[in-house]
Amino acid sequence: MHNEPIWNDGAIPTFPALNDEVAVDVCVIGLGGSGLSCIYELLTLGVRVAGIDASTIGGGAAGRNGGFLLAGLAAFYHDAVAKLGRERASAIYRLTISEIQRMAALMPTIVRQVGSLRIAASPEELVDCTAQMAAMRADDLPVEAYRGPEGEGLLIPTDGAFQPLHRCIWLARQVERGGALLFTHTPALDISGTTVHCPQGTIHARQVIVAVDGGLERLLPELRDTARTTRLQMLATAPDPHCTIPRPVYTRWGYDYWQQLPDGRIALGGCRDRFAESEWDAPPQPSPVVQAALEQILRERIGRQAAIERRWAAQVAYRRDSILPIARQVRPDVWAIGAYNGTGNVIGALCGRAVAHAAVRGQTMLLDLLGKE
């Protein structure tokens, strides 16, 4: 198992490791989608920014996920309404629709606005799909009943698919041109006040934004009771010219998911819940038992026999106590964003931009909507 995502086509740009002392206005830790979106926004606010990552651009879950662009939170919409209230759940959902549209406008060659399917894997889940559709229609959110080759459930027309690693690469190149200092293979060892200590260098900042998902509670121990890291796994096939899956599929309550890329390859992930205890705090390496379960879905549920070319894993963080992400100041002038419960591509970008405004301008209205309990 080579642990190489299908998204890595060798185009990842290289940046140096930090080996000096640097002084900036804001230091962002984590160069995935959330961190780079945060840096992109910080530059529009006219501040000096340095960004660091323990590995490479998009080296964590941001460049190793399923490539789904899903509106809303990880919780299905009617569940979000039940926990947050209709007004707040609707506002967040509409913000994520706008964020998907924003991504598509900025990166039209990376984003495909093809919608997504939620397919019921049982009669009970089909009832839940009906409840979700009723709640969405009550708030005038786009949704359609669906029945097709994949099964029966819902079509969410505002969702989409994208190349997640290319999104990170695009953002990294944009913020580098904008003057941000980017350093890879530079883990944050310690945050003392607003000074970030790394193996061979130090960053002095006025504000620090920690934008890692998996391992968030390790870097910020005060979040250990709030977030916990788990492992997500995927595989990908060779091109299958006899298969047509026009849009991403989310099934079995979201635990299993797949999409077909424009070149015909199928990317499939999930099954974490079936081996949940062994996946908590596990290293980002694929395991034989989860990979076997994924292969069974490919062969039996999807019915495809294409050769498997890649298998990979990533770490993400889940909230222990809420459906909301973490997006708040955790120490004086130290902020945290993460714990997206497995669906951080869209909400993570929103959190990154919201924290940028909160840290620099004290504007917390959007941050309160996204992360305040």
Q: How many whole angstroms separate alpha carbon 170 and alpha carbon 363?
A: 27
Q: Which has the closest alpha carbon to 353: 185, 115, 175?
A: 175
Q: Identify residue 347 by its one-letter amino acid code.
A: I
Longest dimension (CA), the chain: 60
- Do residues 238 and 254 make contact, with C-beta atoms less than 8 angstroms apart? no
pLDDT of residue 1: 59
Q: How many whole angstroms separate alpha carbon 71 and alpha carbon 93?
A: 6
Q: What is the mean pLDDT of residues 336-351?
A: 96
Q: Which residues pair with 372 in a beta bridge?
A: none
Tens of pLDDT, residue by residue over 62-100, are 999 999 999 999 999 999 999 999 999 999 999 999 999
Tens of pLDDT, residue by residue over 217-241, are 999 999 999 999 999 999 999 999 9
Give the model's confidence band at 373: pLDDT under 50 very low, under 70 low, under 90 confident, else very high: confident
- Do residues 45 and 350 make contact, with C-beta atoms less than 8 angstroms apart? no
Q: Which residues pair with 331 in a beta bridge?
A: 334
**CA distances for 144 relative to 71, 118, 140, angstroms:** 15, 10, 12
pLDDT of residue 371: 81
- Do residues 370 and 347 make contact, with C-beta atoms less than 8 angstroms apart? yes
Tens of pLDDT, residue by residue over 48-69, are 999 999 999 999 999 999 999 9
